[in-house]
Structures are given as structure tokens and as C-alpha cells.
Amino acid sequence: MSRGASQTLDVAIAGAGPTGLTLALALKAELGPSVRVGVFDPALGRALPRDARASMIAADGRRLLERIGAWPDDAAPVAGLRITDSRLEAAVRPTFLELGEARADGAPFAHMVFDAALRTRLLERARAAEVGLVAQPIESHLGERGRMRLGLPNGGEVAARLLAAADGAGSPIRARERIQTYAFAYDQTALVATLAHEAPHRGVAVQHFLPGGPFAMLPLGGDVSSLVWSERRPEAERIAQADDETFLREAERRAGPDYGRLSLAGPRGAFPLRFVLARRFVGSRLALVGDAGHVVHPLAGQGFNLALRDVAALSRIVADAARAGEDIGSDAVLDNYESARRFEVASVATATDALYRLFAAPGTRALRDVGMGLVDRAPALKRRIVAAASGL
């Protein structure tokens, strides 16, 4: 892609993570090969890092990824979800809520996908679709009449009718635009790993709510699960710095007897947890997408699903405007995106934070267990919960 100011894109996307690449391909799928889309990220010039994370992708997210040809062949179906609430040393961990076989169409509850594998697949599809991939950051942006002027390193410039910021929770573009956020850090760190285990998971995701935080085992292919373990920060730092054997024994204490002996089947990682909600998702010729607009606690597995719904909404709204001959970066078009996403994102963010606080608060265990027990005995309500989690 030329670095001259004469180069004009329809949409420039900051950030080549799964969210930004999915948006680029969704725009190509909606508007055809003639739409000019560029993705800017210095990470495009580097090898992909080893990443222990995997995402649980709901049904609507799967449909989007299938439509753009990026659905991974090794995606693992999740047949259901089992939730327990107990003390760490409890000999028995009764199930208080089980969500499984509640989809009316018989489809899986969700699928598990490795983040690194998905990004590799998306990059392959982006190159095939002739998405412009630029291994440089967008260092400045300035709205002008009919376009956004983007500054690149060493004085290079590109113009775009619309800029989509998919540049992560610490979004430099959001900061330059002076979009305020409601943000705070949780007193927890997420420990993640890929674990092999002796006993089969049978496709069921298990989430133990323990005093230190939720401990989730999410089923991958074979007798392997993705671990997402939220722990209070001091304890998490101790475990993160421990050797592999100590890490595994600590994980076994929390997993309980159902999995048998655990072993590492991939890299480990640790990520501080925080909450971020942008006060607005749009600016002049600018849309925030994914983590640039919102970051939620991982206990409900909704972070990447919210990002995929941002992508679906923005690509549809931009495509509708383009087909109608409208300016795709106009305030009216971006107001439609804000309206389409604000309510759901705010609802999921606040509900997820409320769940975290309910399970973190001392003295509320009896109330939690009664509530989960009532839901477990209400098939119609369970079906609604599954439908909502699946994006249906």
C-alpha cells in the first residue's frame, strides 16, 4: 500500500488482532472486493507470539466467522456448562446450575477456538481477500471534510473515509480522541494455560466459583481443556512465578477429582483483569470496536463475543450506507452504530461486574446457591439464558 497522501481508503482499521482482521473481512464480504480496506499494526511485521488463550465463541460469532471463511477446522464444540460454588478444600462440589442440551436446534452451546490459530486463519484470509496489511502504527489522525487524514511513521500519510479503532484496551486512538472511559482494575489476575487431563471432559465446560475467584476448565479437542483461572492478585503472582509442577498441583486442587492428573499441553500466561467501558463508541469519522470500547471480566466468556457483535453491527451499517450512496463516515451512520451497540454492551458489562461482586462478596454464598438452584429448576429460563449467551 502506498504511503502517499493520495492513497485513500474506504475504511482504515487500527489493530491486527482477531477483532480488526474480522472487521476487514466482514467489510469485504458485505461490499465485495472493490471496497478499499487497510489494517495498520506494527505487530504485522513480527512473528506471532505463543499465546495460551482460547475463546468461547457463541453461535452468532460462529456464523460471522463462517461467512468470511475464517472458521477454524479444529474448533471444539461445547455441549454444556456446569457451575459449582464451594470452598477450596470441599470434598464434594455440588452442581448448582447446569446448562446443556438447551438449544432448541440441538446445536452446541458454543465452540472453543485457540486465539493464535484464529488469528493465523484470519491473516491468511485477509491476504487472499487483498486487504491492505501495513506493519506500521497510525500515529495521528485528523478529521477533514469528507475524510480522515492518518499519520504514519516517518511522515507518511493515508486518507480514509472511516477509521475503526480495534487497537485494544489501552487504545492510543481512543486516548488521542479524548474519549473518556469508566475503568478500574480488579484485584485479580487471570492465569491461563492449556491442560491435558486423564479423565475426559465430554465436551462440558466447568466453572467453579471459589473464594479466590472463578476457575474455569473449557473443553478443547481430545482430553485437553483451556484453563481460565481468576485468582486474587498476590496469590496469582505467587502461582504465576512458580515452576510448572507447582502450578499444576495448585490447578489440581481447584479442579477437583473429575479431571485426574493434569499436565501442560501448551504455554502458560497471566493477565491482570480490569473493567473498561468507553463513554461513547464513536467520534468524528471514528468507531471504537472490541476492547477499544469495552473490556469485561472473563467469568462469563463474553469479551470476544461482544467484539464480534461490534464487527457484525459496524460492517452491516457501513454496507447499508454505502449501498444507499451515503457517506460511510458521517455522523448519522456512526450514530446508528452507537445506538446498535450501546445498550447490549452496557448491559453485559454491568451484569458481568455484578456477578463478579456477588461471588466475591463474603456472606452471600447461601443466597447465590438458592438463586442458581431456582434457575436450574426452570427449563424455560435456562433456554433463554442459553439463547442470550449464544447471541440468538
pLDDT at 377 (0 to 100):
52
Q: Is 87 a residue whose pLDDT tops 80?
A: no
- The pLDDT of residue 122 is above 50: yes
Q: In 3-state terms, what secondary structure has residue 198?
A: coil
The CA-based angle 218-220-223, given to 5 degrees, is 100
Q: Which amino acid is at 259?
A: Y
Q: What average pLDDT does this structure show over 108-129?
A: 93
3-state secondary structure of 239: helix
> Using one digit for the tens of pLDDT, what is the confidence trace for 142-155?
988 899 999 999 88
Residue 1 lies in a domain: no
pLDDT of residue 105: 58
User: How does residue 199 score in pLDDT terms, banded at 50, 70 and 90?
Assistant: very high
**68 in Cβ contact with 29 (< 8 Å):** yes
For residue 327, what is its C-alpha cell?
457517506
Between 333 and 369, residue with greater pLDDT: 333
**What pLDDT score was predicted for residue 109?**
78
Residue 388 · residue 306 · CB < 8 Å: no
In a domain, 259, yes or no: yes
Q: Does some domain include residue 3?
A: no
Residue 204 lies in a domain: yes
Neighbours of 154 (CB within 10 A): 8
Mean pLDDT of 166-181: 97
User: Is pLDDT at 381 greater than 50 in this prediction?
Assistant: no
Mean pLDDT within 262-276: 95
pLDDT tops 60 at residue 10:
yes
* Range of weakest confidence among 21-30, 240-249, 294-303: 294-303
CB-based contact 48:173 (threshold 8 Å): no
pLDDT of amino acid 378: 46
Residue 5 has pLDDT above 50, yes or no: no
Cα-based distances in Å from 249 to 204, 215, 268, 281: 22, 14, 14, 43
Asked whether residue 188 carries a pLDDT value surpassing 80, the answer given is yes
Would you say residue 2 lies in a domain?
no
Residue 289 covered by a domain: yes
Assess whether pLDDT exceeds 50 at residue 2.
no
Q: How many domains does the chain have?
A: 1
What gap in Å lies between CA 366 and CA 348, rounded to an integer? Answer: 24
370 lies in some domain = yes
Are 86 and 210 contacting, i.e. CB atoms less than 8 angstroms apart?
yes
Please report the pLDDT score of residue 79 as a whole number: 87
State yes or no: pLDDT of 96 exceeds 50. yes
Ordered DSSP codes for 53-96: -EEEE-HHHHHHHHHTT---TTPEEE-EEEEEE--TT-S---EE
Percent of the chain scored above 70 by pLDDT? 85
What does residue 144 show for φ and ψ, rounded to 5 degrees?
-125, 175
The pLDDT, as a whole number, for residue 43 is 94
Per-residue pLDDT reduced to its tens digit, 293-333: 999 999 878 899 999 999 999 999 999 999 999 999 999 99
DSSP secondary structure, 101-163, as one string: S--TT---SEEEEEHHHHHHHHHHHHHHTT-EEESS---EEEEETTEEEEE-GGG-EEEEEEE
Q: Quick check: 382 pLDDT over 50?
A: no
Give the tens place of pLDDT for each residue, 155-167.
Answer: 899 999 999 999 9
Mean pLDDT value across the chain:
88
State yes or no: pLDDT of 82 exceeds 90. Answer: no
User: E strands within the chain?
Assistant: 8-14, 37-40, 54-57, 76-78, 80-85, 95-100, 110-114, 132-134, 140-144, 147-151, 157-165, 181-197, 204-210, 213-219, 224-232, 262-278, 282-283, 286-288, 294-295
Report the C-alpha gap between 243 and 349 in whole angstroms.
35
State the Cα–Cα distance between residues 139 and 155, nearest whole angstrom.
10
Strands 282-283 and 286-288 turn out to be antiparallel
- Residue span of the structural domain in which 330 resides: 8-390
User: With bands split at pLDDT 50, 70 and 90, how would you rate the model's confidence at 93?
Assistant: low
- CATH number, domain containing residue 289: 3.50.50.60
